[in-house]
A and B are shown apart, each in its own frame.
Chain A
Amino acid sequence: MLEYINLFIKAVFIENMIFAFFLGMCSFLAVSKSIKTAFGLGIAVIFVNVITAPFNYLVLSLLLEKGSLAWISPSLAEIDLTFLAFILFISVIAGTVQLVEMIVEKFLPALYNSLGIFLPLITVNCAILGSSLFMQERAYNLPETIVFAGGSGVGFFLAIVALAAIRERLTYSNVPDPLKGLGLAMLITGLMGMAFLSFAGIQL
Chain B
Amino acid sequence: MSTEVQSANLIKAPAEPLFSNKNIRVLKDPLGDNNPVTVQVLGICSALAVTTQVMPSLIMAGSVIFVVAFSNLIISIIRKGIPTRIRMIVQLVVVATLVTLVDQVLKAYVYEVSKKLSVFVGLIITNCIVMGRLEAFAMQKKPWASFLDGIGNGAGYGLVLIFVGVIRELFGSGSLLGYKIVPQWAYDMGYVNNGLMMLPPAALFLIGIYIWIQRSLNKSLVNVS
Taking Cβ atoms with an 8 Å cutoff, the residues of A that contact B are 19-26, 29-30, 83-87, 89-91, 94-95, 98, 120, 123-126, 128-130, 133-134, 137, 176-187, 189-191, 193-194, 197
Contact = CB atoms under 8 A, between A and B. Distances in A.
A191 B208 CA distance: 11
Given A90-B92, A120-B88, A133-B123, A187 B205 contact: yes
Contacts of B221: 178
Given A94-B88, A179-B215, A184 B44 contact: no
Given A95-B89, A181-B223, A24 B122 contact: no
Contacts of A125: 126
Contacts of B43: 26
A126 B205 contact: no
A190 B205 contact: yes
A94 to B, nearest CB: 5
A124 B91 CA distance: 11
Given A22-B49, A26-B45, A183-B208, A86 B126 contact: no
B46 A29 contact: no
B140 interface: no
A91 B93 contact: yes
A182 B96 contact: no
B32 interface: no
A84 B118 CA distance: 16
Interface stretch (B23-31, B56-64, B97-105): B97-105
Q: Interface residues of B toward A: which range?
A: 35 or more
Interface string B114-155: 000011001101111001000000000000000000000000
A123 B201 CA distance: 26
B123 A126 contact: yes
Given A186-B204, A186-B211, A29 B44 contact: yes
Contacts of A19: 200-201
Contacts of A24: 45
A197 B208 contact: no
B75 interface: no
Contact of A133 (B119, B203, B215): B119
Interface of B: 38, 41-49, 88-89, 92-93, 95-97, 99-100, 103-104, 118-119, 122-123, 125-128, 131, 199-205, 207-209, 211-216, 219, 221-225
Contacts of A191: 201
A185 B207 CA distance: 10
B204 A23 contact: no
B119 A134 contact: yes
Considering the complex of A and B, which 3 residue pairs feature the smallest CB-CB distances, nearest first?
A186-B208, A178-B215, A190-B204
Given A26-B43, A179-B215, A87 B93 contact: yes
Given A87-B97, A87-B100, A181-B223, A29 B123 contact: no
B208 A130 contact: no
A178 B103 contact: no
Given A126-B45, A186-B207, A137 B118 contact: yes
A175 B4 CA distance: 55
Contacts of A123: 88, 92, 126
Contacts of A176: 212
A50 to B, nearest CB: 18
A189 B206 CA distance: 12
Nearest to B43: A26
A22 B203 contact: yes
Nearest to B44: A25
Nearest to B128: A26
Contacts of A130: 119, 123
A178 B103 CA distance: 38
A190 B204 CA distance: 5
Contacts of B200: 19-22, 193, 197
